[in-house]
Structure 1
């Protein structure tokens, strides 16, 4: 069995409008599996192709109450590409964001619903990730998070320090999963993004839930009600969803 990071999920005021922004930003295709849900996937890739990484956007009644500690970093291939992408994103409705980053070589923006994300300067590390370089989780203890998530999903630690940890999917495709030490306490911004995992084969969800709980995951209630997926939280309380079948 294997468990992999398969997508990020945005809670939105308007899934269709936010989906159009991100589809244009990434150059991805758009579909909808149900009212209030917009699905994005790379061109030429169909869910659940293991070579793909996806985005789901779901309209919720009060997204302002959703406070996840996850954001995405976008990759660029050159200084010119970085400048062009930032300009393109602003044309689509992104705005500059100040999260205390100071003078850094990357650009921090917010999408039209206020979700903060970064456009990275060119880095060789991310040359083969696709447009999403990394899914980044703010946390108190990056090494501990790397231990949990390294055991939870099919990934290989690439760098682990007291302040930052980076995991790479073992198949060497898609975005990195990264953990960044951040100060405790409330933030002046919030993101509404969490990660979704998918087992392979897909009918091993129940066994994976049991395994994740032995690693330190706990059940979580985010108001999901009766749903076919399982909502869990990692040891620092970050909610994530386990898709698949029992």
Structure 2
């Protein structure tokens, strides 16, 4: 298994996808009214795909996963460039902080970070902070699920691709428990490999505190789960005709 996708709900996938493609320097894979996909290279072989599926209305659930962009010494310059692409400044109650809070073209908050040693080699996407109930427990869960490994960071538990490159998955203590029935507007997707057995992995997910969901979304080739803190993720089929 490996972490393959970031799923970002969008009312207008093409508009939002093109914003993030310009912001991060990614490469377009699919550009259709109902889905926009663009690829962020990590180390020449590993990658993360940003997938923007269409949703009928703007998400209202609190963000439990968001984007932190690397700013560093160019923080002000990068923030201004993002404003020129359509981002706007947001006040979400952050107060006096060293990072800059912006909203993308549909108002989804993200941050442009100040200089931090942990972000020096991440590329333009510095970190993916994920709210969880127990960072240590969820760190073990996501390490097993993705193959990412512990790395220096700024949160209670931080994971990173084993190449030591690309964004950090920062597991942060949640400000409040996940609201039942409130789907995360941004979620992670894990891709099976040919040797993986989906039923065996499902059993292990449940043993580790997660659970499978059965949403009424029609006949899908992937399966939907929650981690032990209730954060949704999808288990995608192994590469092949079904994927």
Which TM-score bucket, shorter chain as reference?
A: 0.7 to 0.9
Q: How far apart in 2 are the matches of 1:7 and 1:172? A: 18
Match of 1:102 among 95, 104, 111: 95
Q: How far apart in 1 are the matches of 2:94 and 2:60? A: 24
Residues 67/106 of structure 1: CA separation in 2 closer, same or farther (3 Å cut): closer
Tell me how many residue pairs correspond in the alignment. 236
Query: Which stretch of the first structure deviates more once superposed, 151-160 or 50-59?
Result: 151-160
Match of 1:13 among 11, 14, 22: 11
Residues 26, 131 of structure 1: 8 Å contact kept: yes
- Tell me the equivalent position of 2:48: 53
1:137 Cα deviation after fit:
0.9
1:160 Cα deviation after fit:
9.0
Question: So what's the TM-score if we normalise by structure 2?
Answer: 0.84
1:56 Cα deviation after fit:
0.4
- Tell me the equivalent position of 1:40: 38
1:88 maps onto 2:86 in alignment: no
Q: How far apart in 2 are the matches of 1:215 and 1:12? A: 31
Q: How far apart in 1 are the matches of 2:114 and 2:95? A: 15
Match of 2:220 among 211, 220, 227: 227
1:34 Cα deviation after fit:
5.4
Residues 112/33 of structure 1: CA separation in 2 closer, same or farther (3 Å cut): closer
Residues 8/175 of structure 1: CA separation in 2 closer, same or farther (3 Å cut): same
Residues 72/41 of structure 1: CA separation in 2 closer, same or farther (3 Å cut): same
Q: How far apart in 2 are the matches of 1:202 and 1:23? A: 33
1:176 maps onto 2:168 in alignment: yes
Q: How far apart in 1 are the matches of 2:201 and 2:233? A: 13
- Tell me the equivalent position of 1:155: 148
Cα deviation per residue 1:200-228 (whole Å; 9 max; x = unaligned)? 34764444333322222201244432111
Q: How far apart in 2 are the matches of 1:14 and 1:33? A: 11
Question: Runs of 5+ in structure 2 lacking a partner?
Answer: none
Question: So what's the TM-score if we normalise by structure 1?
Answer: 0.83
Please state whether the residue corresponding to 1:64 is helix, strand or coil.
coil
1:68 Cα deviation after fit:
4.9
1:157 Cα deviation after fit:
2.3
Residues 29, 38 of structure 2: 8 Å contact kept: yes
Residues 160/193 of structure 1: CA separation in 2 closer, same or farther (3 Å cut): same
Q: How far apart in 1 are the matches of 2:81 and 2:135? A: 33
Please state whether the residue corresponding to 2:110 is helix, strand or coil.
strand
Residues 222/90 of structure 1: CA separation in 2 closer, same or farther (3 Å cut): farther
Q: How far apart in 1 are the matches of 2:127 and 2:153? A: 15
1:127 Cα deviation after fit:
2.0
- Tell me the equivalent position of 2:205: 212
